Amino acid sequence: MTEPGISRRSFLDRLLGLGVLAWLGSVIYPVVEYFKTPPQGEAEVTSVVATKIQSVKPNSGLVFRFGREPAILVSGPDGKLRAFSATCTHLQCTVQYRNDLQKIYCACHNGMYDLNGRNLAGPPPRPLTEFQVTVKGDDVVVSRT
Amino acid sequence: MTERASGPMRWIRERFNIDPLIEFASHKQVPEWRGSFWYYFGGVSLFLFIVQVVSGILLLMYYQPGEKTAYESVRFIVTKVRFGWLVRSIHSWAANLFILSAFIHMFSVFFTKAFRRPRELTWYSGFLLLALGLGFGFSGYLLPWNTLAYFATKVGTTIVAVLPGVGEPIMELLRAGKDVSTATLTRFYGLHVAILPAAFTLILGLHLMLIQTQGMHEPEPWPGGKPRYMPFFPNFVLRDLLLWLIVLNILAILAVWFPWELGSKADPFGAAPQGIKPEWYFLFTYQALKYFPAKLAGIDGEVVGIVLFGIAGLLWFLVPLWDARTPRGIRNRFINYVGITVVLFIIVMTALGVR
Ligand code: FES
């Protein structure tokens, strides 16, 4: 027969251990949660006016703000307008338009995309996300597809 | 001795028994051999850390985190505040010298096998201190909120995110959100001036206590077969102080002649500039990652690279566990070859990265 004293002791030990664990949990859990940043109000943007049509020249690019992220409006040598997310698919640098190369270029690691946002050279693994461009009156409107 | 003391000494003695400390210091000895030179780099690192605390506190007097204030307040410090440029420059230079000195310290400990029993805990705590030092560097880099720092932080935190599963949550924890934003700046600020210093100070205390109680590692075997020692006080301490003075001079020369640049203010909605590079002490990792092909056995090359680096770092940390002594108990050439490979790797990759 086990001595009641010992089993009582080990029972108490276990209880104490559980208590300590519970206590630790109740301290650590809120702290960890505290570090998770809640989403900041800003509603998901679906469309913005990038610029005025008059100011867009052929063979040029413009980085503008699309909600929380940067986007790029590219006017090809033929004057055709396209827009993409300007966040490089490699490591999230902001891309730019190189009129000498007529390509979209990422300076961080020499990533290269063509005018359709397809990744051509360098480390980018995926094409840029494309947005829709419409001209409403004077405004160049870019929206999520 | 106790009898003779009077005045302040006696006043202190009556309240706190300092005799054991004095006793300890007067008997402490430092092994004297050709490797002794390397002992000083621990002290130099300590000195540079103190410089960082002091110059960091001075910067705190004016620095204001925030989208509209971070860059402006640093510019204010370096252009308007008397000697502000000097304080900021010293803080940046000492940070880099600290990492350099800590690296030298670590490798000298590695090659002299000073991490062996009973000094494993000193090695572990030292490794953690270096890791925290790198954390200081990474978080401090962003605080001036300039273009280079902004994109380097973006790239650096995105690299973490490529890890499957845990990567994204860690990245969001670091960035305080999905993007590098003012929230990130505030978080890095908190890390840089509160969390990291607290953790560093605790571990540093442990590290120093271990060194003091265990004494410096002695070469095995003693060159020439006969141990030689130098008294810790005053011989070693004076040399240490002299070296600190020299380091301070080097620091002053660097800070005055090569003041740290501030660059242009970060614009989260502008294109990334050419020449985004991490600080030199991250460069070798960063450069090595470039040599991984986009896909390796169906897995993203970068993921493979980061996992490999993680494993290598862990093995390095755990060296006291796998460093098997040879039957004769002392020399282990294998460890030396590992160390030399690592040093060469770091040097070559850094050189390639600088180019
Ligand atoms: S982040 Fe664009 S190429 Fe690496």
Q: What is the pLDDT of residues B333-345, one digit of tens each?
A: 788 899 999 999 9
User: What is d(CA B316, CA B314) in angstroms, rounded to the nearest whole number?
Assistant: 5
Q: Does B17 map to a domain? A: no
CA B332 and chain centroid, separation: 27
pLDDT of residue B49: 98
Give the mutation candidate from B184, B276, B292 for the A interface (greatest A CB count, under 10 A).
B276
Q: Is B32 on the interface with A (CB under 8 A)?
A: no
* Residue B275 near chain A (CB below 8 Å): yes
Asked, for residue B164, whether it belongs to a domain, the answer is yes
**Residue in chain A lying closest to B353 (CA):** A109
Q: Angle CA(B136)–CA(B138)–CA(B144) in degrees, nearest 5?
A: 95
The arithmetic mean of pLDDT across residues A101-121, rounded, is 91
CATH code for position B334: 1.20.810.10
To the nearest whole Å, the CA of A46 is away from the closest chain B CA by 17
CB contacts, 8 Å: A69 with chain B: 179
A111 C-alpha to ligand 1 centroid (Å): 5
Strand order across the A111-113 sheet: A96-98, A103-106, A111-113, A119-121
**Where are chain A's structural domains?**
47-144
ipTM of the complex: 0.83
A–B: how many Cβ contacts below 8 A?
Answer: 61
Per cent of chain B over pLDDT 70 is 96
Q: Evaluate whether residue B103 is within a structural domain.
A: yes
B234 cis-preceded (ω within 30 degrees of 0): yes
Question: What integer pLDDT is reported at residue B2 of this predicted model?
Answer: 47
- Which of residues A38 and B73 earns the better pLDDT score? B73
Interface check A112 vs B, CB under 8 A: no
**pLDDT band with cut points at 50, 70 and 90 for residue A40:** confident
Tally of domains within chain B: 1
Q: What is the mean pLDDT of chain B?
A: 90
**Is B215 a member of any domain?**
yes
Q: Give the pLDDT confidence score for residue B284 in this predicted structure.
A: 93
Query: Is the domain defined by A47-144 classed in CATH 2.102.10.10?
Result: yes
Average pLDDT over residues B68-82: 96
Across the range B269-297, mean pLDDT stands at 84
Q: Which of A122, A58, A65, A45 is nearest to A88 (CA)?
A: A122
Work out the pLDDT band at B180, boundaries 50, 70, 90. very high
Read off the amino acid at residue B82: R
- What pLDDT is stored for residue A3 in this prediction? 58
Q: Which of A63, A31, A91 is nearest to B173 (CA)?
A: A31
**Greatest alpha-carbon span in chain B:** 79
Q: Say whether pLDDT at A117 is over 60.
A: yes
**Shortest distance, CA B290 to any CA of chain A (angstroms):** 8
Whether residue A96 lies within 8 A of chain B, CB to CB, comes out as yes
Q: What is the pLDDT of residue B1?
A: 46
Helices (H), B215-236: none
Nearest to A107 by CA among B275, B163, B223, B59: B275
Please give the Cα distance from B110 to B336 (Å, whole number). 8
Distance CA B145, CA B180 (A): 11
Is B82 a member of any domain?
yes
Find the mean pLDDT for residues B172-188: 93
Owning domain of residue B145: 25-354
Distance B309 CA to ligand 1 centre (A): 20
Average pLDDT score over residue span B257-263: 92
